[in-house]
Structure 1
Amino acid sequence: MVKTVTVCHIQPDFAEYLDTGVGEEFYINLDESLNHIKEYRVKCRDDSLFQELSRNLYGTELDGKKFRFCTKESDYADIVSDRWTCIDVNDQSATLYALGDAEGNIRVFNSIPTLQQEILSAHLDEITTLRFFPSGQVVLSGSTDMRLKIWSLVDGTNPRTFEGHKAQITDTCMIGRGRNFVSSSLDGTLKLWETGSGLAVHTFHRKENSSDGVNTMNLISENTKDQDALSHNLEFGTAGKRIIAGHESGVITLHDLFTKKQTLQLPSTFMCSCNTLTRNPSNNDQFYAGYQNGGLAQWDLRKPEQPLDQAYINEGIPINRLYYRSNGLYVSSGVDTALKLDLDEKKGTIHCENPTFLVVNDSQVAQFAAAPRSGGVIAVGNWGLCSSYNC
């Protein structure tokens, strides 16, 4: 049985009403279906209906269902763009945020935040993925222009460009210290690159359909005996590394980076595109997938026949992005909904009964990243959204 998460939207400035008492009431809209919305009016001082649970966290019960709302912990007002499309965070010697936008620009900020590097027109079109190299001094970018580029954050130069994909880049992941990385594309391929030479070491694709576009991927890293002794030409640390790839068909494939074999294929459980994947880095068996029709699935690679658990978030509205953080599943849904669902990984269940909605002011969240030194996240998206939440 597929569970259902009922979606709520709250008046974005409701917390100001509660703090000041200005205004008599605010609204909460309960999305009972795609075509039916039920509106509630909450009086500011009605503690019986609406309660402050903790700093930035509020709770209510509507039609016998419990809901929580999380307001912004911090709002990075100085980080401005019309539409942020991706973010990565490096927290080694100092905290740095790399953000890409829909115009092909990259901006890097510190934690104050102060602009550290601005790379305008880094790509011809939208930046779809950004990854810091472990040093924090170099960043990898990918775009709808089908190119991948390395950028020095010291002087803003572009020492290397990687070409070979025939459709937009959708995702990237670093291998170890970054001497190799993997990219995915809507052309149906995953490419393993060697950073120094700029060469594509190997190209992976789904065995059953080589043109089945890849929307998303995730790296699984396992300890391997004598891992350093295992090597191929132009490969460094690929032993014990696997890639999960989510395809436009909805199929999910598993590829071994060292042996170059596709080792598993999971079925298209919702019969629509798998848009996004995420996993707990400390659990190599389970992961979460989000689909075009609003479906969520929790998978276990040891039981690939069917998901451990399934849920809908307003069935019919696409899941844009998933992100695992502190035993919670952060979800971007449709054009204006972001929420957190609690998880029970031991039982393999997604808790849908008491969701926490992030107050994102009607923005569509493009991507989440871990907020440094806290258990929360940073969300970026359109209308200049760049805010942290700690639920």
Structure 2
Amino acid sequence: MEARIQLQSDWYTALRENEGEVWVSCKIPGKPTVYGSLKCQGVGYDGIPAVTASEEFEVLQVSKKSIHLTCPSGRTSSKFIIPYTSFPKIHDKSVTCLDISSGGGLGVSTSTDGSMKIWNCKNGDRRRELTGHIYDVNCCRFFPSGMVALSGGMDAQVKLWSCEDGTCPVTFKGHRAGILDTSIVDRGRNVVSCSRDGTARLWDCGKSTCLAVVADCGTPVNGCCVGTADNSINLGTPQENPSDREVGTEDKLLLLAREDRKLQGVGLQSRTAVFEFEGSDAFNCCTFLSSVYVAAGAQDGNIYQLDLRCLSTPVQIFHRSGAPVHSIIPIREGFIASQGDGSCFIVQQDLDHTIELTGPDADPVYKVAVWEKSVFTCCRDGLVRKYQLSSL
């Protein structure tokens, strides 16, 4: 566990008032937490506040949208960024999942109000509502084309949607319990879904059929991700099935984040287990960082970075809090993760500090999506937040 700086969630508003003050702390493993404060000494003509810190902390840089702090005793520093804008009117209740189209113009999101909506990424205006699932919709994502969306719901159905007119031309049925996550293979001829029923299924979008039960884990599968593994990794012997060769599932590795504390890798064409890695708690999400590195987030707050060529010991274990890790996605030479305590942060190899995306006040951030230099998050407080990162 590394030292972590935490800052009052409404710091930006408070520090724009003369003599406005906020709390800041630094949790240092094995040592007492360091507490301090930041104070505004006035706001310049450029709109940037002059901020001073108590003796335990140092202010390295302040801008209109961010503040960079360091805690010398914890040997750590963090840059805190506020949202560029927020969209409060897309849904009426908690926003549970979201994705951004490949062109960056459209967003799709789901909510505990039972709705799934397409909206404009610039202003949050709702374009259309996608109706057809029974009960809640758990997950959604865009196909690479940006004109088709994929969803999975508590009704155990996987659906394909036209973003142009909101129709649902394809519904996949076969799972016996709610869908928890989906993943798209290459350009989208095939998709994978995972479910509370413990299975992961491979679907043919053109034929509207289930090609195979790729894995039957006997425990809920909370997350999945399809990627291309390095040639040195043995994905098993391909099955002699002509339909498999047609759909191009060769050389793909499927990651499964399982409820029983295991991260499993399955050869998508061989349908055999390539590896199983056991963590400290249930895995909630997983992603490829490269062809050899993967990352997975657990219920106890641990984030495991693994090398597929040597799984005996994690490359690194990140632990910032005991809150569940809800989402993790790659970004440049690192990843973005969100947790149940409202934190959302970026770790990159070429940065000597952590980037913190602030705004939620202890409300879980359920999902993160990236388009170019924009980061979108969805939260239990019902907001979709958009951040602009000039450093990306």
TM-score, length-scaled by structure 1: 0.83
SS at match of 2:349: strand
Moved more, 71-80 or 171-180: 71-80
Q: How far, CA to CA, are the matches of 2:152 and 2:173 in structure 1?
A: 10
1:84 aligns with 2:95: yes
Q: CA deviation at 1:231?
A: 7.3
Q: CA deviation at 1:275?
A: 1.3
| 1:105-184 to 2 correspondences below 5 Å | 105-113=115-123, 114-120=125-131, 122-184=132-194
1:377 aligns with 2:375: yes
Q: Which amino acid aligns with 1:354?
A: H
Equivalent in 269, 278, 294 of residue 287 of structure 1: 294
Moved more, 381-390 or 287-296: 381-390
| 1:242-281 to 2 correspondences below 5 Å | 242-266=253-277, 268-270=278-280, 272-280=281-289
Q: CA deviation at 1:286?
A: 0.3
8 Å contact 2:255–2:263 — kept in the other structure?
Answer: yes
Q: How far, CA to CA, are the matches of 2:387 and 2:146 in structure 1?
A: 24
SS at match of 1:64: helix
Q: How far, CA to CA, are the matches of 1:13 and 1:183 in structure 2?
A: 38
Equivalent in 240, 247, 266 of residue 251 of structure 2: 240
1:104 aligns with 2:114: yes
How many pairs were matched up?
Answer: 362
Q: Which amino acid aligns with 2:52?
A: D
Shift of the 261–248 alpha-carbon distance from structure 1 to 2, 3 Å rule, reads: same
8 Å contact 2:93–2:113 — kept in the other structure?
Answer: no
8 Å contact 1:269–1:306 — kept in the other structure?
Answer: no
Give the corresponding residue for 2:61: 52
8 Å contact 2:338–2:365 — kept in the other structure?
Answer: yes
8 Å contact 1:88–1:130 — kept in the other structure?
Answer: yes
Q: CA deviation at 1:55?
A: 5.1
Shift of the 384–221 alpha-carbon distance from structure 1 to 2, 3 Å rule, reads: same
Give the corresponding residue for 2:333: 327
Shift of the 13–311 alpha-carbon distance from structure 1 to 2, 3 Å rule, reads: closer
- Structure 1 unaligned spans of 5+: 225-229, 345-350
1:359 aligns with 2:365: no
Give the corresponding residue for 2:44: none
Give the corresponding residue for 2:9: 12
Q: Deviations over 1:154-184 (max 9, x none)?
A: 2222222212112221111112332211101
SS at match of 1:356: strand
Shift of the 177–324 alpha-carbon distance from structure 1 to 2, 3 Å rule, reads: closer
Shift of the 28–125 alpha-carbon distance from structure 1 to 2, 3 Å rule, reads: farther
Give the corresponding residue for 1:388: 386
Moved more, 191-200 or 73-82: 73-82
Give the corresponding residue for 1:71: 82
8 Å contact 2:296–2:305 — kept in the other structure?
Answer: yes
SS at match of 2:271: coil
Q: How far, CA to CA, are the matches of 1:367 and 1:123 in structure 2?
A: 20
Q: CA deviation at 1:237?
A: 1.8
Give the corresponding residue for 2:317: 310
8 Å contact 1:329–1:343 — kept in the other structure?
Answer: no
Q: Which amino acid aligns with 2:148?
A: V
8 Å contact 1:338–1:360 — kept in the other structure?
Answer: no
Q: CA deviation at 1:7?
A: 4.2
Q: How far, CA to CA, are the matches of 1:136 and 1:97 in structure 2?
A: 10
Shift of the 144–5 alpha-carbon distance from structure 1 to 2, 3 Å rule, reads: farther
Shift of the 26–326 alpha-carbon distance from structure 1 to 2, 3 Å rule, reads: same
- Structure 2 unaligned spans of 5+: 42-50, 232-239
Moved >6 Å (runs of 4+):
none
Give the corresponding residue for 2:344: 338
8 Å contact 2:179–2:196 — kept in the other structure?
Answer: yes
RCO higher in structure (CA 8 A, sep ≥6): 1
Q: How far, CA to CA, are the matches of 1:135 and 1:171 in structure 2?
A: 20
Q: How far, CA to CA, are the matches of 1:7 and 1:354 in structure 2?
A: 10
TM-score, length-scaled by structure 2: 0.83
Q: How far, CA to CA, are the matches of 1:389 and 1:154 in structure 2?
A: 27
Q: CA deviation at 1:69?
A: 1.1
Q: CA deviation at 1:191?
A: 0.1
Shift of the 146–8 alpha-carbon distance from structure 1 to 2, 3 Å rule, reads: farther
Shift of the 23–12 alpha-carbon distance from structure 1 to 2, 3 Å rule, reads: farther
Q: Deviations over 1:288-319 (max 9, x none)?
A: 111111112110110011211113222x3322
Identity %: 25
8 Å contact 2:100–2:108 — kept in the other structure?
Answer: yes
Q: CA deviation at 1:38?
A: 6.0
| 1:181-220 to 2 correspondences below 5 Å | 181-205=191-215, 210-220=217-227
Q: CA deviation at 1:142?
A: 0.5
Give the corresponding residue for 1:348: none
Q: How far, CA to CA, are the matches of 1:278 and 1:180 in structure 2?
A: 18
Q: How far, CA to CA, are the matches of 2:310 and 2:323 in structure 1?
A: 28
Q: How far, CA to CA, are the matches of 2:331 and 2:62 in structure 1?
A: 21
Q: Deviations over 1:240-279 (max 9, x none)?
A: 222111211221221112222222222x132x21111122
